[in-house]
Amino acid sequence: MNTIRRSTFAFFAALALLFTGAAQAQTRPAALVEGRDYVAIAEGIPYTKAPGKTEIAEVFGYWCHHCNNFQPLVDKWKPGLPKTVNFVYVPAAFDPQDPYARAYFAARQLRLPADKVHHDLFRAIHTERSLPMNASENELAQFHTRYGVSAEKFLAAMNSKPVATQMAWARQFAETSQVEGTPTLIVAGKYRILGNSHQDALRIAAQLAAQLQSQRR
């Protein structure tokens, strides 16, 4: 190879490396920063037990219009999560008697169609306005009869000991995680997500979960 060819080859090789490095820099996510992107939770633990998986929990309230706006974004985002991520909803049980939070647990105790009930409740409150923000036990029991359960059975589930136990754990989880409002994402029970928008919070949660998974390998 003569000098001119050798120089030309070296030039294009260097150029290729330059563009490759630039492309990798563009696709590589920015490093997460504690205090800006998330807050570390002292002595935090996951909401559920799912060995080998990293949990992302959303603390939410059906009465929360921010949660209602967040839900469609979550619906689009969840299918893209790896199978190593366990996404769970946690009703904000700040009030141990909150009817909506107890209805959430009662519906799952009775094995009603979870996703459908979840979305139908948001729609009934914020779009159709067929349920008030401060719905009573009886109103919620009547609402859930559309899924084939009697109002009496649903009321009994809402006031059952298992639901009271779940309410207490949901409240403890939120308090330990220092949740101040809804919606709030918690990763692995150890990191409370911040972010400057709903989309940003989802990005940070997914990136942090991926980092935690990579550390396990």
pLDDT at 93 over 90: yes
Q: Are residues 144 and 183 in the same domain?
A: yes
Indicate the SS3 state at residue 103. helix
Same domain, yes or no, for 115 and 169?
A: yes
Please state the separation of Cα 204 from the chain's center in Å: 11
pLDDT digits (tens, 9 = 90+) for 66-77: 999 999 999 999
Residues 53 and 18 in one domain: no
* pLDDT higher than threshold 50 for residue 161: yes
The domain tally of the chain equals 2
Residues 84, 133 share a domain: yes
Q: What is the CATH number of the domain that holds 113?
A: 3.40.30.10
Global pTM value:
0.86
Is residue 118 domain-shared with residue 196, that is, in the same domain?
A: yes
What is the reported pLDDT for 217?
63
Range of the domain at 83: 38-216
Q: Band of the pLDDT at 214, cuts 50, 70, 90?
A: confident
**Judgement on whether residues 124 and 203 belong to the same structural domain of the protein:** yes
Is residue 134 a contact partner of residue 63, using CB atoms and an 8 Å limit?
A: yes
| Residues forming a β-bridge with 186 | 57, 192
Span 4-50, pLDDT tens digits: 555 544 444 444 444 444 444 455 678 999 999 999 999 999 999 98
